[in-house]
C-alpha cells in the first residue's frame, strides 16, 4: 500500500489515514532476541449518520406504531439526540437520547420533521432530517356551530378540515348540494373552508353541513344559520353590592326587533351533599329596541335574601322565534356585616356554607332599559 512508508529506516508513516488503519502495529527488533514492540493506533473519526429508510421519508397510518432510526458511525461512537423541528416531541420533551424513537398510536399531531443529531467531540455535530407523514381520514372542526345573521346582511360559515391525503370538501344546505352563485361563494385557504352568503334571505336560514372525504374515510359536521336572537351573554359581576337586591345585566344580539324577553330566576339552597332549588320566578319584559342589533338590558331583582345564591335564565324572541337557552347564570347576595369588597373574584366552598336555608317570599320589580357599557362599569 503506497500510503505506508518507512521513514529514516525505523519509522512507519501512514498517509491519508482511514478508519480501517486503526489497530496494533508490531515493530520487531532483530538483535537475536527477536523482541517485539507494539504500537496501538486509534483513529478519531467525525460523526456521520445513515437513516432508515435512506431517504428519510416515513409514512404511518393513524393509530399505528412507527420507529424512526438513525445509525451513527464515527470514533468515538457518537451520541444521538432527537428533536422535532418547530415543535416538541410527542412525549412533551424538547429532546431525547437514543438511536431510535418509537411513536405509538400516531395521529396527525405527530406528523412533521424529526431531527437526529450525532456528536462525538470530533469535528462538528451532524444533523439529519426525517419527514413523518401520517395518513388519516378527514377530521372537521366548525368555527361556530350556530351562526347568527339577519336578512340583508352577510353570514360566514367556517369548517376547519384536516386529512391526509388532502380531502375534498363540499357544502350542503339540508340535503341540497350547494354551488357558487352571485350571493354565495366558497373559499379555501389551507385547512380553512369558508361559505359566505351575501344579502341573506329568509330562505337561507336553516341547517348546513360541510362534508370532507379522502381515500381513508369521510366526515361531516353540522351548523345552523339562524335569524333568531343570540343566546344571552351575562355582563354583570356575580356578586351583588346589596344584601337584598341584584342588578342583572345581559347582552342579546338580534337583527330584527326583539318582541319579548323572558327572565326566570330562583334561589339555590346548598349543603355539603346536594343542591335544593327553589321555585322559578317568571318575569316577562317588554324590550326597547334601538338602532343597533346589540341589545344591552338590565333587570333589578329586589326582595332577595342576604348571603344567598340565585340563578337566572334569559330568553329573547324576535319574529323568527325564541333563542336557545344558555346555562343558568349564578349570582350572590351580600351577607350581613360583609363588606362589598370582601368577596373573592370567584366563589369557593366557604362561600357556599354561608347560604341561609330559610325560605322567604320574593317580590320583584322589573326595570328594563338599554344602558351603556360605561354605566355597567359604574354599577359594578
pLDDT in tens, 131-166: 999 999 999 999 999 999 999 999 999 999 999 999
Domain residue extents for the chain:
46-136, 143-226, 233-379
Q: pLDDT tens digit string along 352-364?
A: 222 222 233 333 3
CA-based nearest residue to 265, from 287, 291, 247, 286: 247
- Domain 143-226 fold is Immunoglobulin-like (2.60.40)
Q: What is the pLDDT of residues 20-52, one digit of tens each?
A: 888 899 888 776 677 788 889 888 999 999 988
Beta-carbon-side half-sphere exposure of residue 26 (alpha carbons within 13 Å): 5
Number of alpha carbons in the 13 Å side-chain half-sphere of residue 251 = 11
| Beta strand pairing call for 96-97 and 11-14 | unpaired
Mean pLDDT on 253-269: 93
In this structure, which topology does domain 233-379 adopt according to CATH?
Answer: Immunoglobulin-like (2.60.40)
Beta-sheet pairing, 126-142 with 57-61: parallel
Instruction: Provide, rounded to the nearest whole percent, the portion of the chain with pLDDT above 70.
Output: 86
- Residue 343 pLDDT class (50, 70, 90 cuts): very low
> Which residues neighbour 246 within 8 Å (Cβ) at sequence distance 6 or greater?
236, 240, 300, 301, 304, 310, 331, 333
Q: Is the domain defined by 46-136 classed in CATH 2.60.40.10?
A: yes
Which residues neighbour 376 within 8 Å (Cβ) at sequence distance 6 or greater?
235, 236, 249, 296, 298
CA–CA distance from 25 to each of 7, 18, 36, 39, 376 (Å)? 15, 15, 10, 5, 92
**Within 13 Å and on the Cβ side, how many CA atoms surround 132?**
29
Look up the pTM and report it. Answer: 0.71
Residue 4 phi/psi, 5° resolution? Answer: -100, 125
Amino acid at each position: 500500500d503506497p500510503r505506508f512508508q518507512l521513514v529514516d529506516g525505523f519509522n512507519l508513516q501512514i498517509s491519508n489515514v482511514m478508519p480501517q488503519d486503526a489497530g496494533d502495529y508490531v515493530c520487531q527488533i532483530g538483535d537475536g532476541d527477536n523482541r517485539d514492540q507494539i504500537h496501538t493506533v486509534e483513529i478519531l473519526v467525525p460523526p456521520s449518520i445513515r437513516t432508515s429508510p435512506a431517504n428519510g421519508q416515513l409514512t404511518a397510518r393513524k393509530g399505528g406504531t412507527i420507529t424512526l432510526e438513525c445509525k451513527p458511525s464515527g470514533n468515538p461512537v457518537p451520541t444521538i439526540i432527537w428533536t422535532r423541528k418547530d415543535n416538541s416531541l410527542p412525549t412533551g420533551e424538547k429532546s431525547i437520547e437514543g438511536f431510535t424513537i418509537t411513536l405509538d398510536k400516531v395521529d396527525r399531531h405527530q406528523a412533521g420533521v424529526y431531527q437526529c443529531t450525532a456528536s462525538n467531540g470530533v469535528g462538528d455535530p451532524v444533523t439529519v432530517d426525517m419527514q413523518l407523514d401520517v395518513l388519516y381520514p378527514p377530521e372537521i372542526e366548525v368555527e361556530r356551530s350556530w351562526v347568527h345573521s339577519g336578512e340583508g346582511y352577510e353570514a360566514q360559515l367556517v369548517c376547519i378540515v384536516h386529512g391526509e391525503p388532502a380531502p375534498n370538501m363540499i357544502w350542503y344546505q339540508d340535503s341540497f348540494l350547494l354551488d357558487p352563485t352571485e350571493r354565495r361563494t366558497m373559499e379555501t385557504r389551507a385547512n380553512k373552508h369558508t361559505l359566505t352568503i351575501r344579502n341573506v334571505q329568509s330562505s337561507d336560514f336553516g341547517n348546513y353541513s360541510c362534508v370532507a372525504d379522502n381515500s381513508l374515510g369521510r366526515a361531516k359536521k353540522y351548523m345552523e344559520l339562524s335569524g333568531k336572537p343570540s343566546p344571552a351573554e351575562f355582563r354583570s359581576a356575580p356578586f351583588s353590592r346589596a344584601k337584598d337586591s341584584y342588578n342583572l345585566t345581559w347582552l342579546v344580539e338580534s337583527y330584527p326587533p326583539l318582541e319579548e324577553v323572558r327572565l326566570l330566576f330562583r334561589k339555590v339552597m346548598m349543603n355539603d351533599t346536594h343542591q335544593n332549588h327553589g321555585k322559578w320566578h317568571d318575569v316577562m319584559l317588554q324590550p326597547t329596541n334601538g338602532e343597533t342589533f346589540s341589545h344591552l338590558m338590565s333587570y333589578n331583582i329586589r326582595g332577595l335574601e342576604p348571603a344567598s345564591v340565585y340563578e337566572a335564565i334569559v330568553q329573547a324572541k324576535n319574529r323568527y322565534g325564541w333563542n336557545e337557552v344558555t346555562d343558568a347564570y349564578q349570582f350572590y347576595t351580600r351577607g350581613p356585616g360583609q363588606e362589598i369588597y370582601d368577596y373573592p373574584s370567584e366563589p369557593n366552598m366557604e362561600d357556599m356554607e354561608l347560604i341561609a336555608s330559610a325560605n322567604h317570599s320574593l317580590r320583584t320589580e322589573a326595570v328594563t332599559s338599554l344602558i351603556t357599557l360605561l354605566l355597567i362599569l359604574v354599577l359594578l
